[in-house]
Amino acid sequence: MPNPESPHGPVRPRTAVLTAGFDPHLSFGSARPAVFRSSTYVFSSPEEAEHAFSVLAGRVPAEEGMRADLIYSRFSHPNAEILEDQIVPLEPGAQAAGVFNSGMAAIMTAFLTVARPGTTIVYTTPLYGGTTGLIHSLLEPFGVQSTPVPGGDTEAIGRAIRSARNVSVVYLETPANPTMVMTDIRHASEAARNHPDRPVVMVDNTFLGPTFQHPLMLGADLVLYSGTKYLSGMSDMVAGVALSKDPQLMRKILARRSMFGNILQPDECWMLDGRLPTVALRMNRQSKNANRLAEALHGHPKIRRVLYPTLFEDAEQRRIYEEQCAYPGGIFSLDFEGRPAAFDFLRSLRIGRNAVSLGGVETLVCHPKSTTHSGMSAQELDEAGIGDGLVRVSVGIEDWRDLLADFEQALERVK
Ligand SMILES: *Cc1c(COP(=O)(O)O)cnc(C)c1O
């Protein structure tokens, strides 16, 4: 019986990640994939070589359900194909995936596939700093216009999309980093679908996906990840993933990847592939830990505010969270009186480490205004609500009671 909840047939994502997409017979019966490090692949005949290049260039369509023959590892290689086939079932609604050597590589390649000079990108603010930089210092000088709109403002986002001309991309990042502000994906996707230009809706799903938020099921066209974060989960590799319900769109993105040479390398594919079956386990534990910590710290006299989905006060933010996310996730921010208090806290933690990045099994804590978000202007920081007292916490899988004790002893040292 097909499972009506699953667009991937009879089993759910956590099962499919272990059963779909990898055939042990193609790896000498090995239960886990072998690593194929070759840069080039041997053809059985010159005719086959000619055919492979015709398929690669799109002169001849690939046979139904068949992958193009392997040619050269900048285009694709077995470990990329295995990883792509195994990650598709983890993202509800996805039909095709592409893997990249960083999250930024995936985001850049998606933009450069769809955005053209003279077209407009509508995007929510704040975005990941690297993405903001990509828009301002690469795309805009190439003649792509951009229209920022505050994340979370459902009405304003709808209006910005409806009134944009020559719009090629609607780009959302939700929840926003580090304020956790949520944007309604379904609403923005509807506005894009009704626009005569039919822009491509892209969602950076790094914070809550693939376990707790499913943009493709809400109408988005493309989901992007920094695989460096929750997907790999050990803070020991850099990777990126794009997933789409439209194989045609993915083919175009992969053609750009072949040109840029930013495919994820075989060893990295193999590593990330081995992490996929535990993504849901890790994220569930991280979310439970964060939930307990955020709620225990809520109301603490040294903290002005805890920014976390279960503590949202704004009715619209609550609605978006409840409709769009299965669980609140492993990240929260603490708002202290000012920078000295925030720095005292960072200095005093013993288990939580002061580092950027997030999504790893260890708890990491940082001060966004002076680090990850230091490239933003004073006005942008102000509008996004990123103040001197804000500290971002990415909660790991440690025992939450030890983390709480660590946070409490650090709070005692805050003057
Ligand atoms: C880290 C991150 C990125 C960039 O990914 P890299 O793997 O570092 O290139 C993009 N978006 C978000 C939300 C991130 O956290």
- Structural class in CATH, domain 13-26+73-277: alpha beta
Residues 6+ apart with CB under 8 A from 123: 135, 146, 147, 148, 149, 169, 170, 171, 172
The label of the residue with tokens 């309604």 reads: 184
Position 9 confidence tier, pLDDT thresholds 50, 70, 90: low
Task: Give, using CA atoms, the residue closest to atom 1 of ligand 1.
Answer: 226
Residue 61 has pLDDT above 90, yes or no: no
> What is the mean predicted confidence (pLDDT) over 374-382?
90
The residue contributing the CA closest to ligand 1 atom 8 is 103
Domain with CATH 3.90.1150.10 in the chain: 279-412
DSSP 345-393: HHHH-SSSEE-S---SSS-EEE-GGGTTTTTS-HHHHHHHT--TTEEEE
Lowest-pLDDT range of 1-10, 172-181, 297-306, 335-344 = 1-10
First to last CA, the chain: 61
For the chain, the farthest-separated pair of C-alpha atoms sits apart, in whole angstroms, at: 75
DSSP state, residue 60: S
Q: 235 CA to middle of ligand 1, Å?
A: 12
> What lines the ligand 1 site, CB under 6 Å?
102-104, 128, 130, 173, 177, 204, 206, 226, 228-229, 238, 240
Tell me which residue of 231, 128, 118, 117 sits closest to 171, measured CA to CA. Answer: 128
The yes-or-no verdict on residue 5 having pLDDT over 90 is: no
Q: Where residue 1 falls among pLDDT bands split at 50, 70, 90?
A: very low
E strands within 141-214? 145-150, 167-173, 200-204
Neighbours of 306 (CB within 10 A): 21
Contact 296, 289 (CB under 8 A): no
Tell me, rounded to whole angstroms, the distance of Cα 366 from its chain centroid.
19
Tell me: pLDDT of 73 over 80.
yes
Identify the pLDDT of residue 27. 86
Ramachandran sector of residue 12 (left: φ over 0; alpha: ψ -120 to 50; beta: rest): beta
Closest ligand 1 atom, residue 206 Cα: 13
Residue 106 alpha carbon, nearest atom of ligand 1: 9
Q: What are phi and psi of 130, to 5 degrees?
A: -65, -35
Q: Which part of the chain has CATH 3.40.640.10?
A: 13-26+73-277
The number of C-alpha atoms within 13 Å of 409 and in the hemisphere containing its C-beta is 11
Give residue 137 CA to ligand 1 midpoint distance, Å: 17
Alpha-carbon distances, residue 384 vs 49, 124, 378 (angstroms): 53, 10, 10
Is the pLDDT assigned to residue 197 strictly greater than 90? yes
Whether this prediction's pTM lies above 0.75 is answered by yes
User: Which superfamily does 279-412 belong to?
Assistant: Aspartate Aminotransferase, domain 1 (3.90.1150.10)
Task: Say what the pLDDT of residue 2 is.
Answer: 42
100 near 264, Cβ under 8 Å?
yes
Give me the mean pLDDT over the 19-36 stretch.
90
- Tens-digit pLDDT profile for residues 282-306: 999 999 999 999 999 999 999 999 9
Is the pLDDT reported for residue 153 higher than 90? yes
Q: Is the pLDDT of residue 8 over 60?
A: no
Residue 20 has what pLDDT?
A: 85
CA-CA distances (angstroms) from residue 4 to 9, 12, 87, 136, 211? 8, 10, 20, 43, 18
| Tally of CA atoms within 13 A in the half-sphere of 290 that contains its CB | 33
pLDDT, the chain, mean: 95
Tell which one of 102, 104, 177, 179 to mutate to probe ligand 1, the residue whose CB is within 8 A of the most ligand atoms. Answer: 104
